[in-house]
Structure 1
Amino acid sequence: MEPEEKIQAHVLSIWKESRGFLSGKGKEGMLILTNRRLLFIKKTEAGIKWWGAVRTRQTVRLLQSKDVMVVEDGYGEEKLRTDLENKKNQKISFDNILYIEAKEKVWGTVLFLDIIEDGKEKKFQFSVVQDWVKYPISAPMKYLKVDWSRFVKYIQDKRIVTK
């Protein structure tokens, strides 16, 4: 993480899925937007008590005001720097984002993202989850309808696409 890199938005309870034929199962994590890139944090050092409290607060806030461009308390650049040491966490440069768009579905709002990673084009979708089922495996039960517009615009304004 670069010294001048700052968190612009921090969204918990994100369900990430690959799009395409035989895409496999999804993953839970956090989506963090900095002034330099987009990050999907699957493995975090943040405590479970913090996660639970902030997730509940985020759900209440998103039910009132749907804007995802918020930075959550208790997770700053230092914790992000620690989490980025784990290779399982995904780092996406703005310039590697080919396509980004949010679409409203009946069940929730989806952020679609096409990126270049390791020289290959990959397609993902991200959704904010309100409720989870934990058994037999963790999976989303209810999604939120959120406003990704400022999030999308921030990325579009920062990226330089050369396809």
Structure 2
Amino acid sequence: MQPDEKIQAHLVSVWRESKKFLSIGGREGMLILTDKHLMFIHKTKAKMAWWKAITQRQVVSFIKSKNTMIQHDGYGEKELEVDLEDDRNVELSFDDISSISFEEKEWGSLLHLEYEKDGKEEKFQFSIAQDWVKYPAKEPMKHMKVDWSPFVKYIKDRQKFTK
């Protein structure tokens, strides 16, 4: 993350699943779009009380408007810098992304992402969970229908090349 970088969109309760053959399960985290990077943060220093309040507020926000270009109080560039110190979190420049698209399903909206980082190709799909089942493993039970188009357009407009 660069010193002059600003958060453009901040989504919580994001479910990421690998699109590799025979991959099982996924991870919950935050999807953060800055003016130069896309980040998936699944190891955060944010407090649980903040997380619960923000996820509920986000659900209400998406019921009113499906636009994914939203931000949340209580988490800014300083908190993001701290979370990015953990190597398990992913930070991508827009040019690392080889393909980004979205798809509407009957049960929710998906963001498809393919990228190459450190010589390794990755494919993931992201969705925003509204409700969770916690046993035997944490999994989304209900997904939100959102509009990924402004999110995707923001990235594509800033890429130097596209495939």
TM-score greater than 0.5 by the shorter chain = yes
The residue aligned with 1:109 is 109
Query: 1:25 Cα shift?
Result: 1.7
Equivalent pair of 1:97/1:161 in contact (CA under 8 Å)? no
1:8-87 to structure 2, matched below 5 A, reads 8-87=8-87
Letter in 2 for 1:28: E
Q: One-letter code of the match for 2:79?
A: K
Q: What is the CA deviation profile of residues 132-163 of structure 1, one whole-angstrom value per residue up to 9, with x for unaligned ones?
A: 01112111000000001110000001112376
Q: Name the CA shift for 1:153/1:46 in 2 (closer, same or farther; >3 Å).
A: same
Taking the aligned partners of 1:95 and 1:154, their CA distance within structure 2 comes to 13
Instruction: Please list every run of at least 4 consecutive aligned residues from structure 1 whose deviation after the TM superposition is greater than 6 angstroms.
Output: none
Normalised TM-score (structure 1): 0.97
Deviation at 1:71, TM superposition (A): 1.0
- Which runs of 5 or more structure 2 residues have no equivalent in the other structure? none
The residue type paired with residue 122 of structure 2 is K
1:69 is aligned with what amino acid?
M
Aligned length: 163
CA contact under 8 A between 2:156 and 2:162: conserved in structure 1?
no
TM-score (structure 2 length as normaliser):
0.97
For the 8 Å contact 1:19–1:125, the answer to whether it is kept is: yes
Q: Which amino acid aligns with 1:142?
A: K
Post-superposition Cα deviations, 1:12-62, rounded to whole Å, max 9, x if no partner, equal 000001113112320000000001110000000010000000100000110
